Structure 1
Amino acid sequence: MLPPTDPAPARKFIPQVNFELDDFDANEEKCLDFYRQVAVREDMLVPLAEHHTPHGAHSYYVLFDRTAIYGHPGMPQYVAVHLKRDREKATFDFEQALLPLPAMAQSWLIHRGCPHDAISLDPELGPPPADEATRALERRLAGDGDHHAMGRSYTADDPDDMVTVVALRALDEGAPSPFRVLVEEVDTDAWTHTLREGGFDTVDEALQWCDDRLTGQAGPLPPVRPAAAVGRPTSVAKAAAPRPAGRTR
């Protein structure tokens, strides 16, 4: 998804995040962690979605990090934050994760207690889905994203080819196509995005397809095998997990 500050159809405004922690404290280590991991770039974080439980005990945020394009090439551009506040003690705790796709950030929050229907993305920020296939895949990722572990991602900001590739490993060894690749592509002329998924038998095949896509040499994504096609588990499903997230070229 494009940064909300990039050229695109006019938007009303770019909102700013407010973590509402002025009256809360934590131990020195926790405060320092929150500052280093989140608050240091607070004025550059755009809230794409947020949900607050009654009395503010929990807050969930999907944030776009406008500083990501200035960091290590290919790094994830979305931050999921879960804040927990104890009003009686006036203390707070938090969790955060850097993720390459908004649907993955939604999934991370949903599996930490955020209601599924309460963390929808602001349609004014970023290009909308181009088709029903994209919408359906994003809904599924948000709901069952914990079924896969992320191995590697890369986000390319080339205006002529804005793409994010993500390699995943199924946590269930018997899953069809145990390695998956997600590809999000932004059409800057139509101001829409598509998301597609492919299935692979080995980690090397999945990572090679990602490399080829980033250099413009990839063929079509192979389809994910249906569950009915899976026989007894094989050694392929026990292949090594994808390498840690980083550059793919």
Structure 2
Amino acid sequence: MPRPWLAARGWPAPSPARRRPPPPQDRPDTRPDDADPTDGDPTIADRPIFAGADFGIDSLEPEGSPSEHAADYLAIIAGELLPLSDQHTTNPHTTDLTSSYYVMADTAHTWNDTPGLSSFLAVHVERDLAAGVFEIGFAPQPLAAMAQQWLVERGADPAAFTRLGPITPADQETERVESLLRGAGPDRFTVHDHYTHDDAPFDIWVIATDTQAAASDRPVRVFHDRRQADHDTYTLREGAFADFEAAYAWTEDTDQPLPPVPAEGTLRAGAARTQSPHRPSVPGRPATQPYSGPTPPGPSPRR
């Protein structure tokens, strides 16, 4: 069904220089100069607006400018989004979807000239069918489990995500760490830095502070994700460090073992001994503020 709020934009056919909106710093797209301008895709006007997933908003209008801008942005990168997991809630009196939560792989992140950007996108949709409107928001995340955690903050059930992608956890330890991140809550881990590698062995590392371990001698965490491309599996591991310097040093050689994390009971005991309203600072390298991914473009003039 036509979407007047998008058609009015008059989006052109994709091109190497304009396959996605630039991030806030107006960085150019860095796809190869000889890349096919269309990659076999029809124009945006002719193809499904959300080729990577059905967001269930075909007959609805955006509720407010934030949702309009977010939908515009997702429409442009739609062909580069691959659904990995989702969950939905329906109206108790009908089969109509009301809330939806999606984790997407954003393959277009590799075209940016800033390396290491997040490759996962969390997308949250709320629909009011009676009013004919929808709200939509998204957030780039470095790990799929962190994308799910962002969605859990917005009402998703951490135990109800359906796995859609062909890539699966390699072992129980991966599932345990994912469960930890998915159910951690917004205040447990403070992310300081992360990096996603686009070539073998396709590593992702995240440096964070565990607020429940603030009183321990190793409050810094590194989460390390590695893809086993030949087997369509991945591993996710967690390690504990005394400070940021030690954590960053480990990322220089991710083949070495991660230092084990203290048992949960030890962390709780340490936290109970610290009743100060001010958390102790974590020594070491100051936290950087990594670029967290593109944000929806601002309003554009209607044509």
Q: What is the TM-score of this pair, normalised by structure 1?
A: 0.79
Secondary structure of residue in 1 paired with 2:175? helix
Does the aligned pair in 1 maintain the 2:62–2:68 contact within 8 Å?
no
Structure 1 residues 89 and 153, CA, compared in 2 at 3 Å: closer, same or farther?
Answer: same
Q: Distance in 1 between the 2:65 and 2:106 partners?
A: 23
**Which amino acid is 1:60 matched to?**
Y
Q: Which residue in the other structure is 2:287 paired with?
A: 242
User: 76-85 vs 185-194, which deviates more?
Assistant: 185-194
Q: In structure 1, which of residues 24, 31, 34 is the aligned counterpart of residue 60 of structure 2?
A: 24
Q: In structure 2, which of residues 208, 218, 222 is the aligned counterpart of residue 181 of structure 1?
A: 222
Q: In structure 1, which of residues 218, 222, 232 is the aligned counterpart of residue 259 of structure 2?
A: 222
Does the aligned pair in 1 maintain the 2:221–2:238 contact within 8 Å?
yes
Q: Which has the higher helix share?
A: 1
Unaligned runs of 5+ in 2: 1-50, 91-95, 293-303
Secondary structure of residue in 2 paired with 1:84? strand
2:210 corresponds to 1:170? yes
Q: Which residue in the other structure is 1:5 paired with?
A: none
Q: How many residues align structurally?
A: 226
Instruction: Please list, as runs of the form range in 1=range in 2, the aligned pairs for 1:71-150 lying within 5 A after superposition.
Output: 71=112, 72-122=114-164, 124-126=165-167, 128-144=168-184, 146=186, 147-150=188-191
User: 141-150 vs 229-238, which deviates more?
Assistant: 229-238
Deviations 1:192-248 (A, max 9, x none): 2111100112223223322x13xx6x642111123426644599942277321259x
Structure 1 residues 162 and 173, CA, compared in 2 at 3 Å: closer, same or farther?
Answer: closer
2:102 corresponds to 1:61? yes
Deviation (angstroms), 1:106: 1.4
Instruction: Please list, as runs of the form range in 1=range in 2, the aligned pairs for 1:194-213 lying within 5 A after superposition.
Output: 194-210=235-251, 212-213=252-253
Q: In structure 1, which of residues 65, 70, 73 is the aligned counterpart of residue 111 of structure 2?
A: 70
- RMSD between aligned residues: 2.7
**Which amino acid is 1:129 matched to?**
P
Q: Distance in 2 between the 1:36 and 1:222 partners?
A: 44
Unaligned runs of 5+ in 1: 1-14
- Percent identical across equivalent pairs? 30
Deviation (angstroms), 1:32: 4.2
Instruction: Please list, as runs of the form range in 1=range in 2, the aligned pairs for 1:26-41 lying within 5 A after superposition.
Output: 26=62, 29-41=65-77
**Which amino acid is 1:96 matched to?**
F
Q: What is the TM-score of this pair, normalised by structure 2?
A: 0.66
User: 74-83 vs 103-112, which deviates more?
Assistant: 103-112
Bigger-Rg structure (1/2): 2
Q: Distance in 1 between the 2:262 and 2:291 partners?
A: 27
Secondary structure of residue in 2 paired with 1:105? helix
Q: Distance in 2 between the 1:96 and 1:207 partners?
A: 29
